[in-house]
């Protein structure tokens, strides 16, 4: 159980890291791209919590949804980097965190099989 709680806390910390970066996007992109990224972050966190407290089948469904949302988030972050709203160092860290969260999600899914 501790690992599943950790992913929720880890993702919460990731949200706290990423939101201030999004707030520094140019005004027009803060309300377009930044809003989309923020929305994915919160949806993923909600799905993790629902998976933690749900029944086995619900857990699997929510974790599959997390995988899709993580992929969408990766592309939005990549676009932000390509548009130069996120610098190299931060992009590297964010990418590592997203990869680690994806691995933990996959591990959680495997444990349910």
- Any idea what the CATH number is for the domain that residue 37 is in? 1.20.1440.60
One digit per residue, the tens of pLDDT, for the chain of length 113 reads 446 679 999 999 999 999 999 999 999 988 899 999 999 999 999 999 999 999 988 999 999 999 999 999 999 999 999 999 999 999 999 999 999 999 999 999 999 98
In degrees, rounded to 5, the angle at the alpha carbon of residue 67 between the alpha carbons of residues 96 and 110 is 95
In degrees, rounded to 5, the angle at the alpha carbon of residue 11 between the alpha carbons of residues 74 and 13 is 115
Q: What is the DSSP letter of 55?
A: -
Please tell me the total count of domains within the chain.
Answer: 1
Q: What does the pLDDT read at residue 5?
A: 72
Q: What does the pLDDT read at residue 3?
A: 61
Query: Length of the chain, please?
Result: 113
End-to-end CA distance of the chain: give it in Å, rounded: 16
Q: What does the pLDDT read at residue 1?
A: 40
Q: What does the pLDDT read at residue 113?
A: 84
Domain containing residue 106: 2-112
d(CA 34, CA 22): 5
Residue 42: C-alpha distances to residues 46, 69, 88, 98, 110 (Å) = 6, 10, 24, 14, 24
pTM here is 0.92
């Amino acid at each position: 159980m501790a690992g599943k709680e950790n992913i929720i806390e880890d993702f919460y910390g990731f949200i706290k890291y990423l939101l201030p970066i999004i707030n520094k996007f140019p005004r027009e992109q803060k309300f377009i791209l930044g809003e989309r990224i923020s929305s994915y972050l919160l949806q993923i966190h909600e799905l993790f919590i629902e998976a933690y407290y749900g029944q086995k089948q619900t857990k699997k469904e929510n974790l599959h949804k997390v995988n899709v949302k993580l992929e969408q988030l990766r592309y939005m972050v990549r676009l932000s980097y390509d548009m130069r709203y996120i610098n190299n160092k931060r992009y590297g860290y964010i990418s590592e965190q997203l990869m680690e969260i994806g691995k933990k999600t996959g591990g959680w899914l495997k444990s349910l099989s």
